[in-house]
Structure 1
Amino acid sequence: MGNSLTQKGICTTEKLDKNKKMAETESLADWMSNLNEKFTKIPLSQLAIPGSHDAMAYSLDTNSSVLEPKKIKALDKMFSTFLRPIVKKWGTAQDKNISEQLDAGMRYFDLRVAGKPESSDLFFYHGLYTTMTVKEGMTELEKWLGQHTKEVVILAFSHFKEMSADQHTDLTNFLKVHFKTKLCPKPQVPSLKDCWESGYQVILSYDNRSVDDPVLWPQIKYWWADNSDPNEVISYLNNQKQKGKPEGLFVAGLNLTFDGNDMLLYLTKSLKEKTMKAYPLLLDWVKEQRPGSDKDSVNIIAGDFVGVNSFAKDIIQLNNADNGS
């Protein structure tokens, strides 16, 4: 009987933990609609917003050719069987799909697009092409928005590769038709209340000035340390803060990078191993930040492998502190 009671207690604890996790997921999935009213009336540039760096780099295709880095790309044809799995280990920056990232609270998405010589479709990429096309990814995202009508996302399209002027036109036309009245026109950064009243759910940043349109926002400033050492990343971000925040929306990138100096590390480790080891230190930095209108305040904070720890929760909680707004 004692064993039976113990097992029952374990089952009850597991059920409570499961219910707690489900409630937390639901809360993060609709965190904007659950914000204190005062935070819904200030510009989005004064909120703390979780973001996903290289958001679509969870479905990299080892059967595709290498796009970057240049040194590896040059060797791809001769050593593809050996090189592509290594590129995938360092190119994979997320392990949750777009819907899961949205459920985990992400509202900024770093989206890098490339054309493929053998295909009429456009793909995301990070080192390798993704298996998912741009149209498939945006269709999944739009469906999610339809189920969470008070959540607003910021889509940052950039780092275009192998794309013609016609492909840029086709892509922007697709995005405009796809999101329709959900697109928030530039240039004034809206509040959540503004978005809700107008039915806006998407701020679309497109970093290619050959295409101009009232609904295409310019490039969003991204603070990138370009360093594999988390201490150096924090030092860089603190130095940037001292210079003062950019106007409008901007991103502080917590993402690490492979600097090319340690080839042994590149061959034996992965970006995930390095990132997860660094996260405790990076999240300590997050907890010290505050959003708002002050010179040293933060806005969007983006990282890799989001949704596997307290990353989003820690950022969202910054909005509950007194930020002087």
Structure 2
Amino acid sequence: MTCIFCLILYSAGSHDTMTYCLDENSAVSGNESKLVKFLNKCMPCIVRPIIMKWSITQVLTVTEQLEAGVRYLDFRIAHKASDPSVNLYFVHMVYTTVTVQDILWEVLKWLETHPQEVVILACRNFDGLTKKLHCHLITCIKQIFQCKLCPRNVVPTLRTMWQHGYQVIVSYEEDLEVLKDCELWPAIPYWWGNKTTTRALIQFLELMKRMGRPETFFVAGINLTENLRYILVHPFGSLKTMTLRSLPCLKMWVRKQCPGPQKECINIIAGDFIGNDDFVRDVIELNTKINPQLYCPSKGSGTNSISFSAF
């Protein structure tokens, strides 16, 4: 009988995890186009509400997402161009009200009360980060999580993670920094469809599956993406409306997936507004296709302790 600690398990993730606390009064991100910056400067009363409607992808706090069963956190990290401090924020068109350091402490606090849970922190984007700021961020990560960080030379089965007390895998989207530090893992590939319709998104994901899964962690994003044309055609719409409309079809697609190392198997599945529908539960229950004994809900946890994606 296959040991459950060596399985390749499904895990649920949140796309753009930190957008629940975007600051509507912040400057527009340095990564945005000159047109967006110009329009925001000239017509802030009109443009800013539109930016907020199409930037927010989550409404649950990071602790609430973890309680709901999310184990992959998508952290888009940035430094404000006009900020003389080393404070780092999360970003999606605009910056968050909270700092990266505060959220890392919040994640640690949750992990300390859930010693058998493992989370993946995908650190991405890095808008405005210099070498000095990368060093500051990595130092903060290491100081906060310390021995909970899983080195990348470890094969992260649940048995190994539990035996050594590892609870955090940090995926870092900056190759030069990864080479310097054994606590950092290479960037986890994210299958981003960049589609405005559910049908097109599912077709994209099925095409990626036929091409074959990566050998390591990877994410299938079931998040739709707006473009300027879509926004103009739906002037009273929002990303949330767009997402909720797509959930029934995406829910059916998720339930058809199978975990495992085979070519067309999927690893982590990430979505927007993860508190809506039964997304997280549906993803975790896919593990019962390997072993029915894996799914045993615990009271008040929102999920089970077997919810980690390994090789």
TM-score using structure 1 length: 0.85
The equivalent position to 1:84 in structure 2, one of 39, 45, 48, is 48
CA distance, structure 2, for counterparts of residue 266 and residue 156 of structure 1: 32
Deviation at 1:187, TM superposition (A): 3.7
The equivalent position to 1:51 in structure 2, one of 6, 9, 13, is 13
SS of the residue aligned with 2:3? helix
Deviation at 1:84, TM superposition (A): 1.4
CA distance, structure 2, for counterparts of residue 284 and residue 62 of structure 1: 35
Q: Which residue of structure 2 lines up, in the alignment, with residue 289 of structure 1?
A: 257
Q: Which residue of structure 1 lines up, in the alignment, with residue 25 of structure 2?
A: 63
CA distance, structure 2, for counterparts of residue 117 and residue 179 of structure 1: 28
Q: Confirm or deny: 8 A CA contact 1:39 1:319 kept in the other structure.
A: no
Q: Which residue of structure 2 lines up, in the alignment, with residue 151 of structure 1?
A: 117
Q: Confirm or deny: 8 A CA contact 2:171 2:184 kept in the other structure.
A: yes
Deviates more, 1:148-157 or 1:207-216: 207-216
Task: Give the AA of the match of 2:64.
Answer: E
Q: Which residue of structure 1 lines up, in the alignment, with residue 104 of structure 2?
A: 138
Kindly provide the CA deviation profile for residues 167-209 of structure 1, in whole angstroms up to 9, marking residues without a partner as x.
0110011101110000000044411111000000000011012
Q: Confirm or deny: 8 A CA contact 2:196 2:230 kept in the other structure.
A: no
Q: Does 1:41 align with 2:3?
A: no
Deviation at 1:39, TM superposition (A): 2.8
Deviation at 1:322, TM superposition (A): 3.0
Q: Confirm or deny: 8 A CA contact 1:86 1:266 kept in the other structure.
A: no
Q: Confirm or deny: 8 A CA contact 2:74 2:121 kept in the other structure.
A: yes
CA distance, structure 2, for counterparts of residue 206 and residue 196 of structure 1: 23
CA distance, structure 2, for counterparts of residue 245 and residue 213 of structure 1: 26
Q: Which residue of structure 2 lines up, in the alignment, with residue 184 of structure 1?
A: 150
The within-5 A match list for 1:1-325 is 38-42=3-7, 46-67=8-29, 69-70=32-33, 71-119=35-83, 120=85, 121-211=87-177, 212-265=180-233, 267-322=235-290
Q: 1:194 to 1:253 in 2, by over 3 A?
A: same
CA distance, structure 2, for counterparts of residue 312 and residue 61 of structure 1: 27
Kindly provide the CA deviation profile for residues 255-296 of structure 1, in whole angstroms up to 9, marking residues without a partner as x.
111122234245311100010110010010000001111111
Instruction: For structure 1, list consecutive stretches of 5 or more residues without a partner in the other structure.
Output: 1-35
CA distance, structure 1, for counterparts of residue 53 and residue 159 of structure 2: 41
Task: Give the AA of the match of 2:286.
Answer: L
SS of the residue aligned with 1:268? coil
Q: How many residues align?
A: 286
Q: Which runs of 4+ in 1 moved over 6 A?
A: none
CA distance, structure 2, for counterparts of residue 159 and residue 261 of structure 1: 25
Cα RMSD over matched residues? Answer: 1.7
Deviation at 1:72, TM superposition (A): 1.1
Deviation at 1:299, TM superposition (A): 0.5
Q: Confirm or deny: 8 A CA contact 1:189 1:248 kept in the other structure.
A: no
Identity %: 42
TM-score using structure 2 length: 0.88
Task: Give the AA of the match of 1:56.
Answer: M
Task: Give the AA of the match of 1:235.
Answer: Q
Q: Confirm or deny: 8 A CA contact 2:231 2:237 kept in the other structure.
A: no
Q: Confirm or deny: 8 A CA contact 2:23 2:94 kept in the other structure.
A: yes
Q: Confirm or deny: 8 A CA contact 2:9 2:287 kept in the other structure.
A: yes
Q: Which residue of structure 2 lines up, in the alignment, with residue 17 of structure 1?
A: none
Instruction: For structure 2, list consecutive stretches of 5 or more residues without a partner in the other structure.
Output: 292-310
CA distance, structure 2, for counterparts of residue 37 and residue 178 of structure 1: 35
